[in-house]
Amino acid sequence: MASTAAAPAPYITSSLPYTHSLPQQHTTPPSYPYQHQHPHVDSSLFAQDDQQVELTLIDLQLLCQEDEAEIHKLLIAAKEWGFLQVANHGVSCKLLCEIAEQAYHAFTLPAEAKARAEPAAGSGYGYFTKQSGANGKRQQLSEAFRLPLNPEHRADVIIKLWPEGNKAFSSVVEEYIAAVESILLQLLRSFASGLGLDPLQFTHDLSKDGIFAVLRMNFYNASSQPLPSLAFQAHSDPPILTILHQNGVDGLQILKDNKWIAVKPQLGSFVVNVGDMLQVMSNDLYPSVIHRVVMKSDKFRSSLVLAATPHPQAIVRPAPQLVTEQRPSQYVPFTMEEYFSSLDSVEYSASKSHLNKFRSIPT
């Protein structure tokens, strides 16, 4: 087994549809400074110094081999940044290419087809328009498909988009979910063992059928917007971990020391970030860091997010081994249901007020 991190995959070529700008739009990104072209630009959308950082690169094969130095690197990156990237993960370039292509086909379906897949009241799955936003209720520039991990429930969404079925889409999505799930489980094992916990500590309450275990496809098309444009507003992610794959068009920014830092997209790697649940389970050792997406060009951007939360009735609390006299529990126990209703009650999750409600010492 190779022990060095894989080189970034050269799998994006100009002949692939998802790297194209959408038809009938100008494809040249506006030249710097954007303000000259768009007098009403919100300069606060620029990242600090307009520079990009490269996230710490973690070699998944080394984690599989329980390499202590690599586990240590993982924990440090999670602690200091809440974000890292994973390479040498075994997911083929072909599959990454195919899923990006399938996402492109789904998002460029006629509006009527997408509208058929809009979720019924109370359902978190299906097609979410720009108005309803990628997280179901906040307005933003992205559209999203939220697909359940459960294959039968997923088929219910797919059939609404393609009444005749779509084997290529279904099988590529299934293969992608299986591949990314195994990355997720390995990372959770490494986090737990690095902390000296039972390796399954963070996976006990995960449920594939749980309504919040989801593959979300995001699609950003800024062609009709002034640039730069806030495409996904500042938020922290709810799950334990989020595993993100981007199509190579930049836009992700993370908030570090009160400054927005742009993340350099690395083709072929996955961005992994700590979600609110891991922040709680780790008793605040690992922060769930606030991030957003800012579009600076009208290139078509897509991303895939696999987010795994404990099931709705699971009780979430700091791992008992991480609660000491010096560091008492920072949270009162709560259920996922309680967490999501707290999240629903806030207009804007970037303050993390939804999570702070469960702090033992209210902030």
Residue 268's nearest CA partner among 81, 86, 82, 104 is 86
Shortest Å, Cβ 247 to ligand OGA = 9
User: 207 or 242: whose CB is closer to ligand OGA?
Assistant: 242
Please state, in angstroms and rounded to a whole number, the distance separating the CA atoms of residues 44 and 161: 38
User: 56 or 193: whose CB is closer to ligand OGA?
Assistant: 56
Q: Hey, how many other C-beta atoms are within 10 angstroms of the C-beta on 323? A: 15
Which range in 81-89, 206-214, 244-252, 253-261 contacts ligand OGA by CB under 6 A? 244-252
Given the DSSP bridges, would you call strands 83-87 and 57-59 parallel, antiparallel or unpaired?
parallel
Which range in 95-103, 128-136, 230-238, 342-350 contacts Ni ion by CB under 5 A? 230-238
CA angle 241/327/288 to nearest 5° reads 20
Residue of 104, 232, 286, 331 that binds ligand OGA (CB under 6 A)? 232
User: 282 or 303: whose CB is closer to ligand OGA?
Assistant: 303
Residue of 143, 181, 237, 298 that binds Ni ion (CB under 5 A)? 237
Of the CA atoms within 13 Å of residue 29, those in its CB half-sphere come to 16
User: 98 or 237: whose CB is closer to Ni ion?
Assistant: 237
User: 82 or 194: whose CB is closer to Ni ion?
Assistant: 82
Tokens of 178: 């299986």
- Tell me if the bond preceding 239 is cis, omega within 30° of 0: no
Residue 218, contacted partner among Ni ion, ligand OGA, none, CB below 5-8 A by kind: ligand OGA
Residue 90's nearest CA partner among 265, 216, 272, 270 is 270
User: 63 or 249: whose CB is closer to ligand OGA?
Assistant: 249
Please state, in angstroms and rounded to a whole number, the distance separating the CA atoms of residues 72 and 78: 10
Q: Hey, how many other C-beta atoms are within 10 angstroms of the C-beta on 35? A: 12
Residue of 5, 241, 293, 295 that binds ligand OGA (CB under 6 A)? 293
Shortest Å, Cβ 237 to Ni ion = 4
User: 202 or 232: whose CB is closer to ligand OGA?
Assistant: 232
Residue 179, contacted partner among ligand OGA, Ni ion, none, CB below 5-8 A by kind: none
Residue of 70, 181, 205, 237 that binds ligand OGA (CB under 6 A)? 237
Which range in 50-58, 87-95, 232-240, 355-363 contacts Ni ion by CB under 5 A? 232-240
Q: Does residue 276 belong to the site contacting Ni ion (CB under 5 A)?
A: no
Tokens of 241: 């971990």
Shortest Å, Cβ 230 to Ni ion = 13
* DSSP single-letter state for residue 54: P
Residue 243's nearest CA partner among 211, 200, 206, 273 is 273
Please state, in angstroms and rounded to a whole number, the distance separating the CA atoms of residues 233 and 298: 18
Tokens of 38: 């768009």
User: 71 or 103: whose CB is closer to ligand OGA?
Assistant: 103
Shortest Å, Cβ 200 to ligand OGA = 26
Residue 177, contacted partner among ligand OGA, Ni ion, none, CB below 5-8 A by kind: none
Count the residues in the chain: 363
* Residue 150, helix vs strand vs coil: coil
The binding site for ligand OGA (CB under 6 A) comprises 134, 216, 218, 232, 237, 244, 246, 252, 291, 293, 303, 305
